[in-house]
Structure 1
Amino acid sequence: MSEYEIYIDASVDVPADVLNDGNVHIVPMHYTADGAERVMERPLNDDEMKAYYDEMRAGVVMKTSQITPFHYEEAFRDDIEAGKGIIYLSLSSGLSNTYTSALTARNTILDEHPDAKIEIVDTLGATGGMGLLLILAVRNREKGMSLEENAAFLRDHALDVVFWFVVDDLSFLRRGGRISAASAIAGTMLNIKPILKITDEGTLTGVSKQRGIAKALKYMASLYEKSHEQTIADDVIICHADDIERAEKIRDMILDINPNAKTRITSLSPIIGAHTGPGMTCICYLGNRNIV
């Protein structure tokens, strides 16, 4: 029995075997489909993810909601009362209030159990980048790293996780307030594919505009070549919103650049996919996220 348990929320994108083999706990997240509430408690399989993005293509409006402090208390309580410590990896504080809610829950639990060990780690990232930190957290625990040491390691290396996204349908960025309606219309007419990244503050920002998906994927591969580092780990997580062909293309480009890369392809969860829409492709790895 481990000294501590590792938790992460349902916005993470990582192959299911990482969660199962690492004995990782998922904090459920809620979203709605045209107002009907759904709960995501586990990674969805390929068929479920295809159905989800087909709904979006058909015009179903997906919206996400925050995890409340109460839900965190409920998620953590059993392990705390069993005398176990907890590391929780949170979706970026720059994208969501989940980190703040988790801290509030931690303080409430500590009022009741002053000796409890709970470390809340702001990943300053999302999707597959959270998955990379999760992989490192599990490896560190297997090596015997203590709860406090592991949490400190994860915080120290959160900004070493690099994210590049290409979005296929600009209407979803417009709906989320990321770009104006005029920009969305013009970009769609010109087949513009924006490239985005997550900043050091954990927020989303644009870095380039490429005409067509082929150029966009090639550009992301060039960014990988310039910025990846193998010092900590050589893992790469590629996330896609129901477009496995694009994911495989960027994987092959990455392997041409670095044959030693440990690439994993996974679907983009409904939680993040609600904001990016179908066709989004993302690569996450360790390196320099400020190369551009």
Structure 2
Amino acid sequence: MNIKLITDSACDLSIDYIKENNIALVSLMVNLNGEFIPDDLGQTISHKDFYKAVKEGAMPSTTQVNVGTFYDIFKKYVEKGDAILYIGISSALSGTVSSATTAREMILEEYPEAIIHIIDSLCVSAGEGVLIYKAVEMLKNNVSLDEIVNYLESIKRKVIHAITVDDLNHLKRGGRISGAVAAVGGLLGIKPTLKIDDEGRAVASEKFKGRKKALKYLVNQLGINGDNIEEQTIFICNADCIEDALQVKTMIMDEYKVKDIVITSIGAVIGTHGGPGTIAIVFIGKER
């Protein structure tokens, strides 16, 4: 039986990678200046144009993938006789996995023999992407679906996200910090860091005065929490700050030996909440 891998656009992988590996993509939506636009890895609106709009004052909002979208895509592949593996954005950050679960129940009522596995990644952006990379690798090696699911479930809480944002106002809008904290932090040049906890929530970590110290903190997390990093592909996610991403890559290469480093662009949905200048290092570690 063919296994069809499906993911959502919050994975922030490149559209080339998605197409090359025949992954089906469902898109979360962004309301930008009153227009609903699919967050489809930069196809409908480029990452550059999205962040340009935000920098010019746009205040986008986001919506999850709906049940109908999942129902249609699940039905399409079930009718082809495929088994389905969907890897989705953390349920603590979006209702997208809940929509997928409802759609799965609807499909199973019509097609009781259908095989649909849903992985709540408890991750975001390239953290979700790490699980997709692992799944693709295992599929290429003809690993069984049950083995893939069990493995992904076993490592998803070991995916470490070390994140910093450049502008506190985006966190304020998302309710992560108060207006007063954002105002004072902005005046003092405070750069907060965030992480994803075991429940898949974005939570505050350390605070630093200045961008340079915050970036150094991200790199240090690789040494503190990384597990067998010399055998890993490390992801650097960036929201329209490629120069900083390249700097972080150089810092990692100067300090550690790793298998590979992949730089990805943070898309419109995740970028709505972190804002331009958000940057993160994602890797598999010992614990969150």
**Shorter-chain TM-score above 0.5:** yes
CA distance in 2, matches of 1:206, 1:39: 29
SS in 1 for 2:106: helix
The structural deviation recorded for 1:76 is: 1.5
Which blocks of at least 5 consecutive residues in structure 2 are unaligned? none
**Could you tell me whether the CA contact under 8 Å between 1:31 and 1:271 is conserved in 2?**
yes
Provide the alpha-carbon RMSD of the alignment.
1.5
Q: Deviations over 1:174-214 (max 9, x none)?
A: 00100000000000000000010000000011110011100
Deviations for 1:12-35, whole angstroms, at most 9, x for unmatched residues?
Answer: 112334312221111122111022
Q: Which residue is equivalent to 2:17? A: 18
Specify the SS of the correspondent of 1:11: helix
More off after superposition, 250-259 vs 162-171: 250-259
Match of 2:4 in 1: 5
Q: List gaps (5 residues or longer) in structure 1.
A: none
Question: What is residue 54 of structure 1 aligned with on the other side?
Answer: 52
Find the counterpart in structure 2 of residue 35 from structure 1: 34
1:235-283 residue CA offsets vs partner (Å, 9 max, x unmatched): 1111111010110111111112223331011110101001111000011
Contact 1:91 1:130 in 2 (8 A): yes
Question: What corresponds to 2:268 in structure 1?
Answer: 270
Is 1:239–2:253 an aligned residue pair? no
1:49–1:267 contact (8 Å) kept in structure 2: yes
Q: TM-score of the superposition, structure 2-length normalised?
A: 0.96
- Measure the CA separation in 2 of the matches of 1:85 and 1:168: 42
Cα distance, 1:102 vs structure 2: 0.8
1:70 has 2:100 as partner: no
Counterpart of 1:193 in structure 2 is: 191
The equivalent residue for 2:256 is 258
Aligned residue type for 1:223: Q
Which amino acid is 1:3 matched to?
N
Distance 2:231 2:241 in 1: 26
**Match 1:287 to one of 282, 285, 288:** 285
Deviations, residues 34-90 of structure 1 (Å, cap 9, x unaligned): 22111233x217x92111101001111111001111110012211110110100001
2:143 alignment counterpart: 145
Of the structure 1 ranges 26-35 and 264-273, higher mean CA displacement relative to structure 2 is found in 26-35
Q: Secondary structure at the match of 1:23?
A: coil
Structure 1 match to 2:100: 102
Q: How many residues align?
A: 287
Asked if structure 1 preserves the Cα contact closer than 8 Å seen for 2:192 and 2:208, the reply is: yes
Percent identical residues = 34
Change (3 A) 1:16 1:66: closer
CA, structure 1 residues 90+68, in 2 after alignment: closer, same or farther (shift >3 Å)? same
Sort the Cα spacing of 1:161 and 1:59 in 2 relative to 1 into closer, same or farther, 3 A. same
- From 221, 224, 232, the equivalent of 2:222 is 224
Residue 100 of structure 1 and its aligned partner are, at CA, apart by 1.2
Equivalence for 2:129: 131
Report the TM-score when normalising by structure 1: 0.95
